[in-house]
Amino acid sequence: MDESCHTLDVYSSFIEDFPINSSTVAEHSKKDSILNKVVFYIQHGWPNQLPSCEANLIPYFRRRLSLCVCTNVVLLQTEHLRVVVPRSLQPKVLSLLHEGHWGETRMKQLSRRYCWWPGIDEMIHHTVNECNACQLNASQPTKHYTSWPTTEHSWERIHIDYAGPLEKFMWLIIVDSFSKFPFVVRMQSTTSKATIGALRSVFALEGLPKTIVSDNGTQFSSAEFKNFCQENAITHLTSAPFNPESNGAAERMVRTFKTALTKILCTTARSEDALQIFLNTYRTAPDADGKSPAEKLHGRCHRTVLSVLCPDVNRKDKGNYLSKFSTGETVYVRQYLKRTKWVEGVVIKPLGRKMYQVQTDFGVWRRHQNQMRPRSFSNLKNSETTPSSRSPVPLQALSPSPPLALSPTSSEPLSSLSSPQPTSAAAPSPQLP
């Protein structure tokens, strides 16, 4: 294990940029000798038994029926499509998995959705144990509490509580009991009015819950908060006096938030950035049932930097399409700065389906096809058939340097580019006897 970690440290010095997208994975996979052998066997068939000299391929051989290749990236097909990460990228992916300083279990759950390589579980265990911030802020053993009734729908019952003071602020914690999706609001004041204002902002996004559970803090037991719940048809339940453990969901989230924020602040200076890292990583990390809080609350996975590791296997190649104007074609282009509405130009190249780069007397312009029209009547007629039937201006007439490929002393106007030159009559072909 020590030798493997030393090798990863040597490779990690060559990787600096985030995020690691599928193109980066494909590039490093080509340089990985083990993955090159795996790709060869995937494409040409696995042997019935590996030779003794290829013992390092045994983990891949055991999963050979679930391996495939897409755009030079080796993928492992399990419940989720996972990227087989080349050795040179494994340290960076480990740092991404540990970005929120989560424990070993949550990191493994996250890896089982996005990535795999031989020995990943042991490396995750090693990463957590070697993380100084995690070890200095490790929590106490988990305490057991009597659970609240299980909710059947998201945002049916929420638990709220205050955390802090932490980083000179109090933090309002809101967690949905069904999805465990958290909201955290940094508060300047903890009065009933300020608490109600923060709750209104969250309810504007997610709607009104049926039940709110809180402790007996003065901001929650006031008449103002009671009226707020009654006006919005919300049932307000409070825990037993001097027994905050009864509000277990909020208490656990408060403890999780404090621990995570303290860890993240070891590497991040601003509390605002640390809060965003906490929310992004917690909301998108799968729970024990394999679904993240974001999936349970919103019904979809949130896109993260880990999402771009895998190439888009559902992407459909865009078919060829006909361009309205062809390269070298003479056109009229709409202008907006002078009295004349249209100026003469030549199409340099298309910039997509509808956009074009056009050379004019005033420089190179970018125009939509709705701001262009053909120069001659013949071109206008041909535009109703196919764009390839127009007679384009030769590319030699277009200069790569602005504005036009005309001699500085030439007085020939731009419109002469579209004038057809007289051609001699074609000689009749000889008749065969």
Mean pLDDT of 4-25: 54
Helix (H, G, I), strand (E, B), or coil: what is residue 59? helix
Q: What is the mean pLDDT of the chain?
A: 81
Name, in order, each residue with C-beta under 8 angstroms of 134's C-beta and a sequence gap of 6 or more.
Answer: 101, 103, 128, 263
Q: Could you read off the pLDDT of 39-54 as tens digits, one per residue?
A: 999 999 999 888 888 8
**Which residue, 203, 206, 201, 161, is CA-closest to 179?**
206
Percent of the chain with pLDDT over 70: 78
Contact (Cβ atoms closer than 8 angstroms) between residue 214 and residue 161: yes
- Report the range out of 13-27, 246-260, 366-380 with the highest average pLDDT: 246-260
Q: Among the listed ranges 13-27, 92-106, 315-329, 334-348, which one has the minimum average pLDDT value?
A: 13-27
- Residue 325's alpha-carbon distances to 341, 363, 367, 369, 400, in angstroms, are 20, 19, 12, 8, 19
pLDDT for 316: 65
pLDDT for 388: 42
pLDDT for 184: 94
Q: Could you read off the pLDDT of 206-248 as tens digits, one per residue?
A: 999 999 999 888 999 999 999 999 999 999 998 877 666 677 7
- The rounded distance, in Å, linking the Cα atoms of 267 and 163 is 21
Paired residues of 161 in beta bridges: 173
β-bridge pairing 115-116 and 157-166: unpaired
Pure H helices in 177-270: 192-206, 218-221, 223-231, 248-264
Q: Is residue 298 exposed (0-12), middle (13-18) or buried (19+ Cβ within 10 Å)?
A: middle
Mean pLDDT of 360-378: 86
**Does residue 3 or residue 340 have the better pLDDT?**
340
pLDDT for 420: 45
- The rounded distance, in Å, linking the Cα atoms of 266 and 135 is 12
Contact (Cβ atoms closer than 8 angstroms) between residue 184 and residue 172: yes
**pLDDT surpassing 80 at residue 124:** yes
Mean pLDDT of 118-147: 83
Percent of the chain with pLDDT over 90: 49
pLDDT for 307: 85
**Does residue 200 or residue 375 have the better pLDDT?**
200
Q: How confident is the model at residue 424 (pLDDT cuts 50, 70, 90)?
A: very low
- The rounded distance, in Å, linking the Cα atoms of 312 and 299 is 20
**Does residue 431 or residue 113 have the better pLDDT?**
113
pLDDT for 383: 43
**pLDDT surpassing 70 at residue 113:** yes
Q: Could you read off the pLDDT of 160-186 as tens digits, one per residue?
A: 999 988 888 999 999 999 999 999 999
Would you call the peptide bond into 403 cis, given omega within 30 degrees of 0 as the criterion?
Answer: yes
Q: Could you read off the pLDDT of 306-351 as tens digits, one per residue?
A: 888 888 777 665 556 677 888 999 999 998 887 788 999 999 999 9
Contact (Cβ atoms closer than 8 angstroms) between residue 385 and residue 378: no
**Which residue, 277, 258, 270, 375, is CA-closest to 328?**
375
- The rounded distance, in Å, linking the Cα atoms of 84 and 97 is 15
pLDDT for 3: 42
Backbone phi and psi for residue 53, each to the nearest 5 degrees, phi listed first? -75, -10
**pLDDT surpassing 60 at residue 7:** no
- The rounded distance, in Å, linking the Cα atoms of 325 and 383 is 8
Helix (H), strand (E) at residue 277: helix 271-284
pLDDT for 310: 83
Mean pLDDT of 353-382: 82
Mean pLDDT of 404-418: 42
